[in-house]
Amino acid sequence: MSWRVYLLRCSDGSLYCGVTTKIERRLSEHNRGVGSRYTRTRLPVRLVWSSGELSKSEAFKEEYRIKRLSKVMKEGIVDAGGNKKKSPGEERHG
């Protein structure tokens, strides 16, 4: 099963990072208010970036790495990758 890390832009301009196997389903859950407590109060959200396919372990490691970045660095990922582009470490993963 392939996993992806994703960044959502919340209505207040903040970014939310998560991991899923099905981005469309997860985005729908977030926008219905059942995705996470953080996004529930910041609706609507929109997908601004997602990684390529990763193993579960790789995806959770990448999510952890991204969550530790400053907002400026997360914005850099979005700016460099655009919507649904590769993660910075994806070249290693294929």
pLDDT band at 7 (very low <50, low <70, confident <90, very high): very high
CATH number at residue 34: 3.40.1440.10
Phi, psi angle pair for 69, to nearest 5°: -75, 155
Q: Is 91 part of any domain? A: no
Report the alpha-carbon distance of residue 16 to residue 36 in Å, rounded. 10
More confident residue, 52 or 88: 52
Q: pTM, whole model, 2 decimals?
A: 0.84
Which residues are 3's β-sheet partners? 54
> Which residue range(s) make up the domain with 15?
4-85
Which ranges constitute the DSSP H helices of the chain? 23-31, 37-40, 56-67, 71-81, 90-93
State pLDDT tens for residues 12-33. 999 999 999 999 999 999 999 9
State pLDDT tens for residues 33-62. 999 999 999 999 999 999 999 999 999 999
Q: Is 94 part of any domain? A: no
The two tokens of residue 87 are 């993660």
